[in-house]
Each structure stands twice: as structure tokens, then as C-alpha cells.
Chain A
Amino acid sequence: MTLVLAGCGSASPADAPSNRADGSTARPNGTVTVLAAASLTEAFDKIARDFERSHPGTTVRLSFGGSSALATQVINGAPADVLATADLATMRRVAEADGGTRLAQQPTIFATNRLQIAVPPDNPGRVAGLAHFARPELRLAVCAPQVPCGRAAAEAFRRAGVIPRPDTYGPDVKAVLTLVRTGEVDAGLVYLTDVCAAGDAVRGLDLPEATSPVHDYPIAVLADAPNPTAARAFVDHVHSAAGRQRLTEACFEVP
């Protein structure tokens, strides 16, 4: 269930025996601060509530943001316990920072996601596939190529052989979704989970499997975690049946 992330955290002080012993004997208590990718908002809100209920005395503080922004915060020493990002590259950047001392453990993959085309419910642009993203007369939004969803979009367009002509590059995936929700664009490329979270406000169109890369979501306890015991318990909870259930409800696929 917990896949090892190749090339990550090899030099981390990760599984120091003392830590391990603490994690299994001490009862988690107090506040655990979790930095999570924006696309995890709905699922982690529920997972955090479940965790607080099953671990009385704990409080989960969630901070959602773009994965890259979160990684920058961690690298610059933001006091947090757990980091969950929307792609491997960002987690790797954290794992390799400061000579590999930022993570307390090997990151593990807890969910996967894929792209979907989001259109307003009435699909005013009659968008049917990725090829429509090349049409200049349509109003289109994709993520900026610097953020994970933008890199994913670029990869999908490359595989489909489409040169997209968007009207705007969203700074994160929720920004693109908002434009679809408000009907400002005819289509946007977002994650399946975003379409899921938007309910009836948008319609999702599947990409052909061949053009749709699958995205791994890694999670790890940070080396400087103020509350390592609760942090480990939280990561375990994300991997548990209850955690997987919540992730599935939010349309993530769980490994």
C-alpha cells in the first residue's frame, strides 16, 4: 500500500529507531499541522475531522495551497508536521533540499488523480476533446506551465499532438475551475477530483487513457515536525481504510 518513492529521502534521518518507538507507543496528542495541495481540500477536510474524532485530544490544522508554494514554505522552514503534494517532482524538491534533511521519512503515495476537461453544464462551446483547445474562437483556460496541473496539461497536449491556444493561464487548478464554473471560459483542463468537487456546476469530459497521465500524490512527515507522533498517526490514518474511503469519495483513485 505504501509505495516507496524512488530517489527520495535516501539521506533522511527518517527511520531513526527512537522515532519509530515513539510513534508506536506514545498516544498522539495536541496540534498537527498539515500542508496539503489545493486539490486535496475536500478530502483532507473530512479526513482531518475523522482523525480528530478517532484520536481525542488532537487538533488538525490544515493549510492548503499550490504544491510549489507549499514546498517553498517547507524549504524556508515553515513549522509544519506533514506535507502532501500533488506531484512527485515537488516532493522531490523538498526531499533534496538542504542535503536531504527536510523529510523525516520516505514519502509514500496515498492517491492518484488524472486530468479531465471541465465545461459549463450547457457546454456552450460544444467542446468534445483536447483538440478543441487549439480553437482560437473558444474561450479556454489551462494552468500555468510552472504549476503541477500546468505541467500535466502540457504533457497531455504533447501526447495528443495539440497546440493549445488558451486565453489565460491559471495560477492554480482552482482558478481554472472557477472560470469554468462562472461560465467565463468554454472549457478548462483540471483534475478529475476538481470536477467531482464542483458537483453539478461543471461537467467533466474524460480524456482518452493514452493522453491522460496519472498523477501520484505523495505524503511525508517533515523532519522538523513539532509533533512527530501525531504526524505519523495522521499519515497512517490517510493510508487507512477510513482515509481511503474519504479519498475515493472525492474521486481520487487509491493505490
Chain B
Amino acid sequence: MTRFTVAHGRVTRPPLALATPALLGLAFLVVPLVGLLLRAPWGSFLAELRAPAVWAALRLSLVCATLATGLSLVVGVPLAWLLARAAVPGKALVRALVTVPLVLPPVVGGVALLLVLGRRGLVGQWLDQWFGISLPFTTSAVVLAETFVAMPFLVLSVEGALRAVDRRYEEAAATLGASAWTTFRRVTFPMVAPSVGAGALLAWARAIGEFGATITFAGNFPGTTQTMPLAVYIALETNPDAAIVLSLLLLAVSVAVLVGLRDRWMLAP
């Protein structure tokens, strides 16, 4: 990658007109974190972490966010391809619909999921009657709620990359006899892979912080549906110190994962 370098290899000095708002923006994002760090009860930090519920919540958060990201990849990348390449009627509308979970307050998303997949929901009642499957209050419901809010991030970033790709490579592959599927697999996908990685990381980050849709659709029970954000919210009711410790733990783990994967996936040649 280029990283602030120009063709001659010299590091550019950012102009003041860019550097000032950039630093303001950075401060705005970082200062709340500093607030958390300053207010953290460092004396009782380890004691707060010793509660077994903390680790159950952290494990659940990591597992569910990862599964939600996987689910988003499996259906989200093809959806992005459809939006970028296929002749879909009313594509603008479809694209707008994909962003619905972004603008919808997550709690409303949770209610919507409940109305569809709940025990008396449009689809849920049949799942319950025919297969005895009931999603609310299960870990699967957590994964679904997180996928619902996180997938648009992946779809949008992959679609943007697909539209920016030079179509001539794909056309050349087709000319040489490659089928549409082979072209996607061997030509298109490798070219947008960094964006898929970036989108997946965004989706994962959104999923790990998910609260509203989860608590509404999946409920809140330690071990099965209580992810870290839920544990933090409940702890805030009686023990703000514990809530800060939990937030910092979640933050530390998430940042470690994101930084670790970012270099590997997104900066790949």
C-alpha cells in the first residue's frame, strides 16, 4: 500500500486545512474512550473480571458476532454482486431496502424480527407448529439479530468495490470461455477480496456492539443470550463500575481482533 507516500516515495505533509478537522474528528472519537479509562475502577478491576458471567458473556459475544459475520458473507457477497452486476428491475429500490437496517432503530429491528420469527410471527408460528422450532430466547436468535443489523455494512462495501472494478478483466475472462461463475470465482472475487475483508470486519464490529435488536428479539439470559453489551446495560443499573470494566474488556478484545485481522486482510496485495 501507498500510505501517505507519493510517486517519489517522500512522505507528504498533510495541509493544515485537512489536518485540523482530521485531528478534531479523531479527538471526538477518542475522548469518550479516555473518559471510560479515567473513570475505570482500576483498584477493583480484577475483582470485577472474576465473575464467571463476564466470561460467558464475552465468549457468547465473540461466537455470535463471528457466526453473524459468516452468515453475512454467505448471503451478503452474492447480494452485493447482484446489486452491482445483475439486471435487477427496481435496483435502486432494492439498494435502498438493503440499507433499512442501518436507519431502523435496532430495537425496532428486534420487534420486526419478533413479528416475523416470533412464536406467533408470520413465519415463526409455522416453524413452531411444523418443526417445533422456536427462535426467540435462543443463541440462534442472537446470531440472526446481529446479522440483520450487520450485513448491510458488508453488502455496501462489497458492492462499492465491485462497481469500481475494471470490467475489462471480467470481459476478457468471458471471451476466453470462462462461465459467469468461474469468472466471479477466479477473476472478480480476488480483485474485491480486500473490500470483502474490510466489509466483514465492519460487520463483525457492528455485530459485537449490537444491543437493541438482540435484547428485543433474543431476550436476555446469562449464558444463552446475554452478550457483553446486554451485560453492560444491566450492570449499569446497579454497578456502574462493573459496567465500565465490562465495556473496556469488550473494547480491548474487539480492538485486538480488528487490528490483528485488518493488517492481514485489508492490506493484502
**Which chain A residues have a beta carbon within 8 Å of chain B's beta carbons?**
66, 68-69, 72, 139, 141, 144, 146-147, 166-171, 175, 178-179, 182-184
B119 and A139 contact, CB distance less than 8 A: yes
Q: Are A171 and B114 in contact (CB under 8 A)?
A: no
Are A146 and B120 CB-contacts (below 8 A) given A168-B220, A168-B225?
no
- A184 x B118 contact (CB < 8 A): yes
B189 at the interface (CB under 8 A from A): no
Chain B interface bracket (under 10, 10 to 19, 20 to 34, 35 or more): 20 to 34
Given A182-B115, A184-B119: A170 and B220 interface contact (C-beta under 8 Å): yes
Assembled-state Cα–Cα distance A72/B240 (Å): 9
Contacts of A66 in B (CB 8 A): 237
Whole-angstrom distance from the CB of B36 to the nearest CB of chain A? 14
**B126 → A minimal CB distance (Å):** 15
Q: Which residues of A contact B207 (CB under 8 A)?
A: none
A179 to B217, CA, bound (A): 9
Name the residue of chain B whose CB is nearest to the CB of A67. B237
Set of chain A residues within 8 Å of B216, measured between Cβ atoms: 175, 178
Subset of 6 A-B contacts with CB under 8 Å: A68-B238, A144-B234, A146-B238, A167-B219, A182-B118, A184-B118
Q: When the two chains form their complex, are residues B238 and A184 in contact, meaning their CB atoms are under 8 A apart?
A: no
Interface residues in B235-251 by Cβ distance below 8 A to A read 235-240
Nearest opposing residue in chain B for A169, CB measure = B220
Question: What's the nearest-Cβ distance from chain A to residue B56, in Å?
Answer: 14
The contact of B234 among A146, A166, A179, A184, by CB within 8 Å, is A146
Shortest beta-carbon distance, A66 to chain B, in Å? 7
Q: Which of A68, A72, A141, A182 contacts B219 (CB 8 A)?
A: A141
* Inter-chain contact B221/A184, CB cutoff 8 Å: no
Is B76 in contact with chain A by the CB < 8 A criterion? no
Asked if B137 is at the interface of the complex by the 8 Å CB criterion, the answer is yes
Query: B137, A139: Cβ atoms under 8 Å?
Result: yes
